[in-house]
Amino acid sequence: MREDYFEDRIDLLAPGLIRYEIGNALRFHPGSSPKELADAVKTIGDMQIDTAELAPETVTAASEIAFQERITFYDAVYIALAERNTAKLLTDDQLLHKKASRKRNLICLLKDYKSPRHDS
């Protein structure tokens, strides 16, 4: 996925808080170090991923998804962004994938990611 992004085969979009989330996830990941956490957060910033702030329409859609799927508003924002941008939510959160049964078609687990590149 990273290679696909750097080679302009895919675009990435995330909520504005993506760097905070990555930092927090690495903080609590077994075996992670302060240096790995800092490097990862800096790298995400350097990648210049498009970020989306919470537009009123996204808030409304995420609110509905959160209640329909019985998930956190935070997770629902990612799904709402995917839905509103005709995109896929790429995640390693298998529990979210399992819980969001009505929106599962919008979610792709990292382990299932397939590159859009076409080798000849």
Residue 115 DSSP SS3: coil
Q: Helix, strand, coil: what percent of the chain each, to 5?
A: 60, 10, 30
Residue 73 lies in a domain: yes
pLDDT at 120: 44
pLDDT digits (tens, 9 = 90+) for 72-115: 999 999 999 999 999 999 998 999 999 998 998 999 998 999 98
The partner residues of 107 in beta bridges, in order of sequence, read 89
In this structure, the strands spanning 13-15 and 50-52 are parallel
Residue 33 lies in a domain: yes
pLDDT at 118: 58
Domain range holding 39? 2-112
**In this prediction, what percent of the chain has a pLDDT beyond 90?**
60
The total of structural domains in the chain comes to 1
Residue 117 lies in a domain: no
Token output for 26: 């690495």
Residue 119 lies in a domain: no
Q: What is the CATH number of the domain that holds 84?
A: 3.40.50.1010
Residue 11 backbone dihedrals phi, psi, to 5 degrees: -110, 150
Residue 120 lies in a domain: no
